[in-house]
Structure 1
Amino acid sequence: MSVEPKLTRFKQNVLSKYQIYNSIFMTLPFDAITKTGVLLPLFHETCKKGFANGDNPTTIVDTFFKKYQARRTKESQINLLFRFIQYIERQVVLFDAIEDAAFPIVNNMEGIGTLRNLKESATSENKLEELQNYLEEFKVRIVLTAHPTQFYPGSVLGIITDLTEAIKDNDLSKINNLFGQLGKTPFFKREKPTPYDEAISLIWYLENVFYKSFGEIYNYIQQNIYDDGKKHNEIINIGFWPGGDRDGNPFVKPDTTLKVAAKLKQAILKKYYADLKNLRRKLSFRGVEDRVIRLETILYNYSINLDYPEAISSKELIRELLSIRNVVVEQHQSLYVNDINNLINRVHMFGYYFATLDIRQDSRIHHSVFTTVIDYLIKTKNSSFPDNYHDLSEAEQIEILSKANDNIPDLEVFEDEMVYNTLKTISIIKDIQASNGERGANRYIISNNQTALNVMQLFAMLKIMAFKDELTVDIGPLFETITDLENAPSVMEQLYTNPEYMAHLRKRGSKQTIMLGFSDGTKDGGYLMANWGIYKAKELLTEMSRKYDITAIFFDGRGGPPARGGGKTHQFYASLGPTIEDKEVQLTIQGQTISSNFGTLESSQYNLEQLISSGIKNRIGSEKNKMSDEDRIVMNDLAETSYQVYKDFKSHPMFIPYLERMSTLKYYAKTNIGSRPSKRGNSDKLVFSDLRAIPFVGSWSQLKQNVPGFFGVGTALKQYEERGDFYKVEQLYKNSKFFKTLLENSMMSLTKSFFDLTKYMSEDEEFGEFWNIIFTEYTTTKNLLLKLTGYQELMENEPAGKASIEVRESIVLPLLTIQQYALKKIQELQKQGVNESDELKVFEKIVTRSLFGNINASRNSA
């Protein structure tokens, strides 16, 4: 299918519909100010013309009021700006719903990268058996995290879902009602959500999207690729972080984790009960109906009361369903046998846990907790830890930890809350496994992992606290900074040469999960270096693991925007080549990535199929993706140059002050979108290392200067141009799918930048020079990427994606203008020494409120 029709389909089914429904939406009065819908298009036009003329946001807002609303009082003007914000937020929702409704029309659901396409090409090339064998060992795991990258409360997500359906049906009266509901439903959260609230909102996706789309995909593979009715590898599974991710989140307590695990179990039991209820209507045969009714009754009672005395295990449930299936096949002409198979498949995939709850904590917290524990054990005098333990070398400490088998009979001896909670969390993993099955919680991620000692401290504590006989938990070190990525292979070798740790890995199927963090990697090393650093680390970790006969399972901490490892994810996985272990694809998905890529049944199924086929494509075409030595030298050189440029930029004396005073960074904490604090440390002073990656990347994106997605790329390319070696980069671009995907994702960051918005800063006596550094790098990067790709404009190869971004950016243009206007007013007031006043509070409120629509509109950054 050619590129053109996709753009045509987008224009017909998204753009035209948005224009029609938006004109209806603009005429609806939601409050006393009925003129908002009339005035917003005028304001939008004023913004567009103003920026084209080189005006700044303050001039634009003032011009608008002078021209159209001169008689308004100051207070009434501010009220109108708040109304504009409310309208624009809802326009973004409308566009989301229209795009969701058009998803199966705009995207080819049976085209390249789908399972049907995969099966057909395997059959035509006589590779069906190869495909079957591959699928027996390949897995995709998406891990839902509660990282706050989207601001929609649950009620608004519900409206988007209903609106999507109404738009599909062109049901005008329903659409009108939903517009009314949307106008009255608040977007702003008065209070921060608790981790449990976050879990509930993500369980909604499990129940309403993933249960169905996972099932459809698995059924398709079983019926069309295997066609033997047997049980196969489950291929796709799901991980879950809310309630288990304690890293930097003091609000995740052990009882939160237990509550979330119980909720996941209840949710899946309810889904099985609903399926059995439907089956019972179909299987009204002798010798079958009574058995289905019995199962239905048991699961209904079990889903309400997890201590239900007559409950059955998931194994017993599958056994009984298989037995029922046999009767149907033998005595009732296999009537509805596919429906029975579908339920058996789902029980096989989701067990009684629905999603695997990962536990995560920072190595620095572990270190201080375990130091306290070891001090306590040493004091008890009958411990395996010698008195001089803390003075021993790291290797000696690891040796002792690998054999530790001490007892802590009572956790109450630890008064410190962090110590108690960390140990309690370890011990409840066993309780969750007893209730939900081992896969209910069998993985512990150590963030900011730097050494083998970090892993062995946890290894010892897991055994001391709960797993004396057999450790049924995988430990996953997370390497994030550039230095940690470089050290990762030697850290893993230290672990692989430890007999006790190795024995544990052998019992776990000779697999080692290793997590790599894009967000903090980019924050630390810049765009090119983070991606290349992770690529090289994966190669070396693959080699190191294979040397010890271990399969490395790479788990990528990827966010939505390219600056956080996002962008076109499936293209990324299809480009890795043979030097990187690819038996499993595991990645985190969060915030707007969940709703934009997996929010509806169609988009979820399409994107999951793309992920499955990308891993397979990499396997089958991996030799083609291998980087030549010449190309590696160029790639490495580009990464090193951009790293240096980014490091110099980061250490510029204006870097932190600029973020603190010219961006929206400090307003993130006030938005109440996530349960965790917006920075790690407790100090009042802003320290770079304490910055969370999400507010960091988000603040650049609100400024429309997506620095983390491109900074350093331009200068690195320019060096080759100046040396007359640009052909080497062109060669790399032509040969390497990995490099090509990286640059395409970077183009997305450039496409979403809009420097006219903040051009006024270039004349600021304090920050002018700093703004110019960013703008120069942006221009250099843009020009050289166009030269390299031969495009006339950015994202030329993805016209539908580009068109979607353009509409979204256009919708929020007035919002960005209002936000900058308010930020400028705050700066002026603070320069006058005003740090407390009602006027200041109003402008701060405008900045905070305008964060929502801007972030939500960036949905297609995923």
Structure 2
Amino acid sequence: MDTPERDKDAALGDDIRLLGRILGDTIRSHEGDFTFDLIESIRKLAVASRRLEDVASRKSLARTLDALTDDQAVVVVRAFSYFSLLANIAEDRHHLRRGRANRRSGAAPLASTLRGLFQDARERGTKQDEALARLSRVRVTPVLTAHPTEVQRKSTLDLQLEISSRLGERDNPDILPEEKTAIDMRLRALVETLWQTRILRAVKLAVRDEIENALSYFGYSFIDVVPRVQAEVEDAVAQLPGDFGRPELPPVLTVGSWVGGDRDGNPFVTADMLEYAFRRQGECIFDHYLAEVHALGAELPLSRTLARVTPALEALAERSPDKSPHRQSEPYRRALTGIYARLASTARSFGLHSEQRSALGEADPYPDAASFLAELDVIDTSLRGHGGGLLADGRLRSLRKAVGAFGFHLATVDLRQNSEIHEEVIAELLREAKVTPGYVTLPEEQRQKILRAELASPRQLRSSFATYSDLTKGELAILETAAAVHRQRGAESIRQYVISKAESVSDMLEVAVLLKEVGLLTPGELPASKLQIVPLFETIRDLRAAPDTMREWFALPEAKSIVKSLGAVQEVMLGYSDSNKDGGYTTSNWELYKAEVALVQVFKQAGTKMRFFHGRGGTVGRGGGPSYEAILAQPPGSVQGELRLTEQGEVIASKYSNRDIGQRNLEALVAATVRAMMDSDPHAKHEDYHVVMDELSATAFKAYRELVYETDGFVDYFRASTPIGEIAELNIGSRPASRKASVRIEDLRAIPWVFSWAQCRVMLPGWFGFGSAVESFLVRRGPAGQELLSEMWRSWPFFRAMLSNLEMLLAKTDLAVAARYKDLVPDPVLAEAIFSRIRTELDATMRAYFSITGSLGFLESNPTLARSIRNRFPYLDPLNHLQVELIKRFRAGEVDDKVKRGIHLTINGLAAGLRNSG
């Protein structure tokens, strides 16, 4: 690293050394000198082995680790796991430090920030009316899911957040020596607490726990950051040329959630859990509103004798139940105590428990969040009309933006269920209603005819005289609860019903009939729906069929009417994880792209606005990677302003557990969406590139399918050479690892599939097949083909993003480590046969990457990630080594809790060290 880069990272090195020293002292204090010396010797050997490539150190490290007792192994694993956590904290803090330093120095803002977006807008001469036209269509919604790769407990996460905060305090240039000493003592106390806090959950997560975990991120960042981003967007528009002043835009950011509503494969998500999710979400947001309104009252003691007010504000004050003589001349305070009373009454009407103080009197509840916002607007208008603009721009503005984004529901909760369940429930309802005895056996055309007739009929299928299965009763119960929530909390509380494994129009009509049963869809020849019916196209086959499915859907008069009732918008969800598991990295990426291109045309022909919901996971093998680049790499015309994408697993913590980092990530989503809208030409570009991708995809698909689905013994190899069995036993989620009681890859969920390959450092789902595809292509095309691929990388955002994500996974892949996992396979012949195929394909993929990009090494354009990998890999190697050793012991019959706990701790530590592993 050159000197300027080294100087910029000096503070990071200082923080890592400080935290490492504190951790070391903590270990010495609690575990003794011998254990500390053992861990320190392992650390030195790991660093020499990795960074100096010293063979003797590598052998010595292996001997030392293999000789550890079970108790020693657990302590060593804990030590290296905690070092990874502390290194993550230091790196995140350094990102913020460098960002602030760059701003102070006047450096050009990043394109992924709002400052960068609007600086470009000013340089292009964008006027206010142009910006307003575009931004009024923008609505970006990250959707939190409960998918189980977040292995950290909230207790440890809270400790890490305080450690980060204390590190930030140490950067204060005005800090006094005694203050720095006090901070360092607090850091020691925090690390000591962390060392003595159980890092693994003692029992499996329940849905209630997942709901609470998701809620914590609203306190960490969303409640503060979403209004802040909204305000900054409006302020930036005000700085553009024009006469509009500062606009009041519709929310550009909202937050969604699957936690409590996603019951696909999770029998524990019930009607009670959906009700609980909204009760807790309501308590979270009402506590915030009540606290902010109370604080506003303290901030606005303005006297009528010194400050004029509008008649509307005077009327609002008069309606307040606050009759204290001490506040009779303070109309703003009286208005706010009235608002507080109405809020408290609304919370009680919802059955919510509030942590805030009691209201000063009784008042009618608000009928909806819009009525609450309207009264805040009265205060805002009065302040701004009488010289109080600065007062209005503080807490009041932030509260108004929060109400616009969060309403009375906090997060929009999606409902999701598998189409096979819908089919079973509809079949039972139709059978008991004497409509048809064998719906499941009917062809698609006949199914549609029956379902369309039911949509036209005002009668319900359910009968109080029929006896239904627990499955049907449970599905109808959760829909009844959803309908009640929708009526009480407003249309934004539940907007989407996602259909997993959507393959046909009848899959969508079945959901329409179920919504009708609970009043969420009004029947008739031209029905109207209160929820979006969202097909999720997941497999390669489903993605290829998606355009025809949607074309057929739009051809139905009932579908046209439903779409029209929802603002002429139709949402489609695309599944990255299962398409990758089904067809491999290259084919998944390409089929998703092609499906979007085709769907753009289908929607245009139907005269319908399109909203894509991207089901991206944390790692590249599940559609992960930097969100900003991913959005810009979407096909022209596919980003039309509204965009939803899932945030999953440990990625949620890395993005949203810190306010400043959370703001950077949310800004990137907004900036990317606006920039992608600018390239709105719906006609396919780079058609010659598309031909190349078809060729690459076909070869990659064949290579991937041959290995994963057509090679005898591959399932045995996978289950033996990865910790998939041990991962399935971890208490990290309420959902089973497989959809069915089977060992087939087809039935395994994509999350543990990818997570397992990450643990053993193969990362196979993120690259396998690409090398074979390029080699085959170059055999056919020769040198001209090589130049064409390089041209694609230079000029096509899709291909560049695909290779950028591939590069990140290749940089994290380590077959020297993975070779140890190969030894876990009982059949050495099978192990070598499959491992050699993986090694051959990896070599081909690496050659392909370097030949296309001309790079001399990985991550040349991302020195931050390169530094991160260089710093942390020496500390991951012992975890991998011990994971293999402990799995060997466990599978050999050492089934005591220490061995099992040690394995689970290695899974946790590696996930923390690799970060985007699931």
**How does the TM-score come out when normalised to structure 1?**
0.92
Partner deviation per Cα, 1:494-520 (whole Å, 9 max, x = no partner): 110110121010010111111011011
Separation in structure 1 between the aligned mates of residue 344 and residue 752 of structure 2, nearest angstrom: 43
Pair 1:153-2:153 in alignment: yes
Separation in structure 1 between the aligned mates of residue 683 and residue 552 of structure 2, nearest angstrom: 31
Tell me, yes or no, if the aligned pair for 1:196 and 1:242 is still in contact at 8 Å: no
Report the CA distance between 1:397 and its aligned residue: 1.9
Tell me, yes or no, if the aligned pair for 1:551 and 1:581 is still in contact at 8 Å: no
Tell me, yes or no, if the aligned pair for 1:139 and 1:584 is still in contact at 8 Å: yes
Pair 1:594-2:626 in alignment: no
Corresponding position of 2:875: 811
Separation in structure 2 between the aligned mates of residue 395 and residue 9 of structure 1, nearest angstrom: 69
Report the CA distance between 1:661 and its aligned residue: 1.2
Corresponding position of 2:72: 80
Separation in structure 1 between the aligned mates of residue 30 and residue 432 of structure 2, nearest angstrom: 63
Tell me, yes or no, if the aligned pair for 2:429 and 2:461 is still in contact at 8 Å: no
Q: Which amino acid aligns with 1:482?
A: I
Tell me, yes or no, if the aligned pair for 2:427 and 2:439 is still in contact at 8 Å: no
Separation in structure 2 between the aligned mates of residue 670 and residue 63 of structure 1, nearest angstrom: 28
Separation in structure 1 between the aligned mates of residue 346 and residue 500 of structure 2, nearest angstrom: 36
**TM-aligned CA distance change 1:38 to 1:297, over 3 Å:** farther
Corresponding position of 1:458: 511
**TM-aligned CA distance change 1:771 to 1:411, over 3 Å:** farther
In structure 1, which of residues 190, 194, 199 is the aligned counterpart of residue 202 of structure 2? 190
In structure 1, which of residues 275, 288, 307 is the aligned counterpart of residue 332 of structure 2? 288
Separation in structure 1 between the aligned mates of residue 7 and residue 483 of structure 2, nearest angstrom: 52
Q: Paired residues, what number?
A: 835
Q: Which amino acid aligns with 2:371?
A: E
Report the CA distance between 1:174 and its aligned residue: 1.3
Q: Which amino acid aligns with 2:213?
A: S
Alignment of 1:173-184 (within 5 A): 173-184=185-196
Pair 1:115-2:114 in alignment: yes
Separation in structure 1 between the aligned mates of residue 66 and residue 650 of structure 2, nearest angstrom: 34
Pair 1:166-2:221 in alignment: no
Corresponding position of 2:701: 643
- Partner SS, residue 817 of structure 2: helix
Report the CA distance between 1:728 and its aligned residue: 1.9
Corresponding position of 2:740: 681
Pair 1:21-2:37 in alignment: no
- Partner SS, residue 552 of structure 1: strand
Separation in structure 2 between the aligned mates of residue 523 and residue 65 of structure 1, nearest angstrom: 34
Separation in structure 1 between the aligned mates of residue 579 and residue 686 of structure 2, nearest angstrom: 25
- Partner SS, residue 210 of structure 1: helix
Separation in structure 1 between the aligned mates of residue 84 and residue 348 of structure 2, nearest angstrom: 38
Identical aligned residues as a percent = 24
Pair 1:571-2:634 in alignment: no
**TM-aligned CA distance change 1:431 to 1:731, over 3 Å:** same
Separation in structure 1 between the aligned mates of residue 3 and residue 540 of structure 2, nearest angstrom: 43
Separation in structure 1 between the aligned mates of residue 622 and residue 126 of structure 2, nearest angstrom: 36
**How does the TM-score come out when normalised to structure 2?**
0.87
Separation in structure 2 between the aligned mates of residue 86 and residue 268 of structure 1, nearest angstrom: 37
Report the CA distance between 1:43 and its aligned residue: 1.3
Partner deviation per Cα, 1:587-643 (whole Å, 9 max, x = no partner): 100122111122211111111111111122222245699632211111111111111
Q: What runs of 5+ residues in structure 1 fail to find an aligned partner?
A: 67-73, 379-384, 830-836
Corresponding position of 1:364: 420
Separation in structure 2 between the aligned mates of residue 349 and residue 645 of structure 1, nearest angstrom: 46
Tell me, yes or no, if the aligned pair for 2:593 and 2:635 is still in contact at 8 Å: no
- Partner SS, residue 652 of structure 1: coil
Separation in structure 2 between the aligned mates of residue 842 and residue 625 of structure 1, nearest angstrom: 60
- Partner SS, residue 596 of structure 1: helix
Q: Which amino acid aligns with 1:310?
A: D
Corresponding position of 1:270: 287
Separation in structure 2 between the aligned mates of residue 721 and residue 848 of structure 1, nearest angstrom: 44
**TM-aligned CA distance change 1:622 to 1:771, over 3 Å:** same
Report the CA distance between 1:7 and its aligned residue: 4.9
**TM-aligned CA distance change 1:200 to 1:760, over 3 Å:** closer
Report the CA distance between 1:825 and its aligned residue: 3.8
Tell me, yes or no, if the aligned pair for 2:433 and 2:462 is still in contact at 8 Å: no
Corresponding position of 1:834: none
Alignment of 1:787-826 (within 5 A): 787-826=851-890
Corresponding position of 1:62: 63
Pair 1:310-2:360 in alignment: no
Partner deviation per Cα, 1:348-372 (whole Å, 9 max, x = no partner): 1111011101011111111112211
Q: Which amino acid aligns with 1:318?
A: L
- Partner SS, residue 636 of structure 2: coil
Separation in structure 2 between the aligned mates of residue 61 and residue 680 of structure 1, nearest angstrom: 38
Tell me, yes or no, if the aligned pair for 2:45 and 2:58 is still in contact at 8 Å: no
In structure 2, which of residues 531, 535, 554 is the aligned counterpart of residue 477 of structure 1? 535
- Partner SS, residue 415 of structure 2: strand
**TM-aligned CA distance change 1:376 to 1:33, over 3 Å:** farther
Separation in structure 2 between the aligned mates of residue 412 and residue 21 of structure 1, nearest angstrom: 68
Corresponding position of 1:246: 263
Pair 1:320-2:375 in alignment: yes
Report the CA distance between 1:577 and its aligned residue: 3.9
Tell me, yes or no, if the aligned pair for 1:402 and 1:459 is still in contact at 8 Å: no
Separation in structure 2 between the aligned mates of residue 263 and residue 486 of structure 1, nearest angstrom: 40
**TM-aligned CA distance change 1:855 to 1:333, over 3 Å:** closer
Alignment of 1:151-550 (within 5 A): 151-170=151-170, 171-226=183-238, 228-285=245-302, 286-300=330-344, 302-303=346-347, 306-307=350-351, 310-312=364-366, 313-331=368-386, 333-339=388-394, 340-378=396-434, 385-386=435-436, 392-404=442-454, 405=457, 406-408=459-461, 413-467=466-520, 469=522, 470-550=528-608
Separation in structure 2 between the aligned mates of residue 361 and residue 24 of structure 1, nearest angstrom: 48
Corresponding position of 2:125: 126
- Partner SS, residue 23 of structure 2: helix
Report the CA distance between 1:534 and its aligned residue: 0.5
RMSD over aligned CA atoms reads: 2.5
Separation in structure 2 between the aligned mates of residue 666 and residue 289 of structure 1, nearest angstrom: 61
**TM-aligned CA distance change 1:157 to 1:300, over 3 Å:** farther
Report the CA distance between 1:806 and its aligned residue: 2.6
Corresponding position of 2:81: 89
Tell me, yes or no, if the aligned pair for 1:92 and 1:857 is still in contact at 8 Å: yes
Separation in structure 2 between the aligned mates of residue 518 and residue 223 of structure 1, nearest angstrom: 36
Pair 1:659-2:718 in alignment: yes
Decide which moves more: 308-317 or 261-270. Answer: 308-317
**TM-aligned CA distance change 1:257 to 1:104, over 3 Å:** same
Decide which moves more: 439-448 or 616-625. Answer: 616-625
Q: What runs of 5+ residues in structure 2 fail to find an aligned partner?
A: 104-108, 171-182, 239-243, 303-329, 353-362, 523-527
**TM-aligned CA distance change 1:364 to 1:292, over 3 Å:** same
Separation in structure 2 between the aligned mates of residue 499 and residue 65 of structure 1, nearest angstrom: 69
Report the CA distance between 1:656 and its aligned residue: 0.6
**TM-aligned CA distance change 1:305 to 1:164, over 3 Å:** farther
Report the CA distance between 1:468 and its aligned residue: 5.1
- Partner SS, residue 671 of structure 1: coil
Pair 1:552-2:610 in alignment: yes
- Partner SS, residue 643 of structure 2: strand
